[in-house]
Amino acid sequence: MRSLDASAPVTVFDTGDELFLADGHHRVEAARRLGRMTIEANVRRGSRHDALEFAIELARDQRGLSRDEVLAAIRSQAGDAWGAAPTT
């Protein structure tokens, strides 16, 4: 297993009102379990929709999943937190 310190930074979207973690959920959880208060992050400006689109494309590229499969997985983990699927 790679050291958490050697892991890629997580990706966060700053909407101006909130921060949305778009990539790195497992790394954040590992850091929490290790008692860490901070983790390296790439911060992008964008909307909640931009964060979701980023997460979808990344999952499609990394796992070879369809858009619908990715959305179903996000909904099963996040419940209504992500709201309705975008219609793009």
Q: Encode pLDDT of 50-67 as tens digits.
A: 998 998 888 888 888 888
Does residue 4 contact residue 38 with C-beta atoms inside 8 Å?
A: no
Q: What is the maximal distance between C-alpha atoms in the chain?
A: 39
At 77, the pLDDT band (50, 70, 90 cuts) reads: confident
Tell me which residue of 78, 56, 79, 77 sits closest to 68, measured CA to CA.
56
Mean pLDDT score across all residues of the chain: 84
Q: What pTM value is reported for the model? A: 0.73
